[in-house]
């Protein structure tokens, strides 16, 4: 593309932010959307044929772990960005549980510099709530906001001390940034490696009770009611947690929630073969929890989809189930897995799915993204909804391979990922 123009021809343009769902062309110039819909002729533009494909705002994932600084052998910001665009994502937000944690201005700067050098997708930084994520002293959130932090989280663990969480919520209301909580009471969850229930008992593995999640959400909702802080429930996983968020929203509290692909597709039973690629936190739950999460997506209780992309090196995941770290990668398999969980069974149509991967996550972090409005940043994903393929972790751009969906036959695949008008990935 020499003159900065790109013409995407003949796709089904789905832009939930503007309630658009039409077949037509889309023109990009100088990094912005300049014309949407109808037949567009521009002989000077590079052309991308999109007949039979969906053309939508670039997908957004507000929950990824890129492991830099500290564990660059598992992932770094460049490899994570490559995985993102291969999965159709144009914007991601990095959690701060790196080593050292992203708990100060210079660390937030570091993420933005590395992301700019990688030059693949928009990478936003989420700052730690507490220094070193130790759950004690509040981090300098104000300075991190000035450096570009889009939200705050001690993800990987919940903030256990109630007074600390209360002060954190009071603090963030000064900046209109959300708290993204890893909702898990650490004392309740202590030592657990999978969902507490009949499967854990049968396998002889220590469990994490659903109450660990629900107790922290209940406490936090009380704090939200008093502080007015924006509060986001990361990776919701239990049916009672979904009900708590539903009630909080009905009461008008500024609460949002996300759910991962694995919490929509896999149950605790998957742990029966002791595959450490099924060891995630929060743990895989039960069929009724999955049904509640799906219902939460349908009725809007759960705002958005997020992968919790959590790379780990092979050596670590080859440990025993008890000792292996929590987490799986997700960026390059997310879209077809959402299709399998939500579209194929008829729970959602494409516009609703895309809404939960674009404008909704953008709103959680107040990102000026997730729309194809004229003048908006030209972040666009082109999806072939009928393309069938087999997930092959060996082919991933991610440095890690910890994916329980390897070898799954799926449908739908991103075929082009465009960031600021530049094609960053093309199948």
DSSP state string for 118-183: H-SSEEEEPBPSBGGG-SSSBP-HHHHHHHT---B--TTS----HHHHHHHHHHHTTTT--EEE--
Among 182, 209, 239, 369, binds Zn ion (CB under 5 A): 182
The site for Zn ion, by CB under 5 A, has a size of 3
Minimal distance in Å, beta carbon 235 to Zn ion?
Answer: 6
Ranges of beta strands (E only) in 102-229 are 122-125, 179-181, 194-195, 207-208
Check: CB of residue 338 under 8 Å from CB of residue 410.
no
Minimal distance in Å, beta carbon 390 to Zn ion?
Answer: 29
Q: Which residue has the tokens 């398999």?
A: 333
Minimal distance in Å, beta carbon 327 to Zn ion?
Answer: 8
- Cβ closest to Zn ion, residue 196 vs residue 234: 234
Q: Is 155 in the site for Zn ion (CB under 5 A)?
A: yes
Minimal distance in Å, beta carbon 279 to Zn ion?
Answer: 13
Q: Is 220 in the site for Zn ion (CB under 5 A)?
A: no
- Cβ closest to Zn ion, residue 209 vs residue 413: 209
Ranges of beta strands (E only) in 272-379 are 304-305
8-state DSSP, 162? H
| Helices assigned H by DSSP within 74-125 | 77-86, 105-118
Q: Is 232 in the site for Zn ion (CB under 5 A)?
A: no
Stretch that binds Zn ion, among 108-116, 153-161, 207-215, 294-302 (CB under 5 A): 153-161
Active site residue 42: no
Set 15, 154, 303, 308: catalytic member: 308
Peptide bond into 282 cis (omega under 30): yes
Minimal distance in Å, beta carbon 68 to Zn ion?
Answer: 18
What is the C-alpha radius of gyration for the chain, rounded to an integer number of angstroms?
Answer: 21
- Cβ closest to Zn ion, residue 34 vs residue 130: 130
Stretch that binds Zn ion, among 179-187, 338-346, 363-371, 375-383 (CB under 5 A): 179-187
- Cβ closest to Zn ion, residue 84 vs residue 236: 236
Chain residues 303-342 in contact with Zn ion, contact rule CB under 5 A: none
Check: CB of residue 164 under 8 Å from CB of residue 136.
yes
- Label the pairing between strands 122-125 and 89-94: parallel
- Cβ closest to Zn ion, residue 86 vs residue 284: 284
Q: Which residue is nearest to Zn ion (CB)?
A: 182
Q: What token pair was written down for 201?
A: 């008992």
Q: What token pair was written down for 282?
A: 């929060």
Nearest-angstrom CA–CA distance, 33 and 49: 17
Positions in the binding site for Zn ion (CB under 5 A): 155, 182, 234
List active site positions: 308
């Amino acid at each position: 593309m020499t003159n900065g123009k790109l013409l995407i021809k003949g796709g089904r343009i789905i832009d939930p932010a503007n309630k658009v769902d039409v077949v037509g062309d889309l023109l990009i110039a100088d990094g912005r959307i300049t014309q949407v819909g109808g037949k567009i002729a521009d002989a000077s533009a590079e052309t991308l044929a999109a007949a039979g494909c969906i053309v939508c705002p670039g997908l957004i994932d507000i929950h990824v772990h890129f492991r830099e600084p500290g564990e660059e052998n598992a992932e770094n910001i460049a490899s994570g960005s490559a995985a993102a665009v291969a999965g159709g994502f144009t914007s991601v937000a990095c959690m701060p549980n790196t080593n050292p944690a992203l708990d100060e201005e210079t660390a937030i700067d570091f993420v933005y510099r590395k992301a700019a050098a990688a030059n693949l997708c928009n990478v936003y930084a989420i700052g730690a709530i507490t220094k070193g994520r130790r759950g004690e002293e509040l981090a300098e959130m104000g300075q991190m906001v000035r450096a570009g932090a889009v939200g705050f989280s001690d993800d990987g663990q919940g903030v256990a001390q109630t007074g600390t969480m209360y002060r954190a919520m009071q603090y963030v209301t000064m900046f209109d940034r959300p708290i993204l909580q890893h909702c898990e009471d650490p004392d309740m969850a202590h030592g657990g490696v999978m969902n507490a229930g009949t499967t854990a008992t049968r396998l002889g593995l220590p469990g994490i009770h659903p109450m660990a999640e629900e107790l922290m959400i209940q406490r936090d909702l009380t704090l939200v009611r008093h502080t007015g802080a924006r509060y986001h429930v990361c990776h919701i996983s239990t049916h009672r947690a979904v009900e708590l968020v539903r009630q909080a929203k009905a009461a008008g509290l500024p609460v949002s929630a996300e759910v991962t692909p694995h919490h929509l597709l896999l149950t605790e039973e998957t742990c029966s073969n002791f595959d450490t690629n099924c060891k995630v936190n929060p743990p895989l739950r039960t069929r009724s929890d999955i049904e509640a999460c799906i219902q939460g997506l349908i009725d809007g209780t759960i705002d958005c989809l997020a992968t919790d992309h959590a790379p780990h090196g092979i050596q670590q995941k080859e440990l025993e189930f008890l000792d292996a770290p929590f987490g799986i990668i997700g960026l390059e398999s997310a879209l077809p897995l959402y299709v399998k969980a939500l579209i194929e069974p008829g729970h959602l149509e494409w516009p609703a799915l895309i809404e939960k991967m674009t404008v909704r996550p953008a709103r959680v972090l107040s990102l000026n993204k997730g729309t194809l409005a004229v003048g908006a940043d030209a972040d666009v994903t082109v999806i072939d909804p009928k393309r069938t393929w087999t997930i092959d972790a060996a082919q991933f751009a991610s440095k890690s391979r910890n994916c329980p969906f390897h070898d799954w036959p799926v449908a739908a695949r991103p075929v082009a990922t465009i960031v600021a008008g530049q094609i960053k990935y093309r199948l």
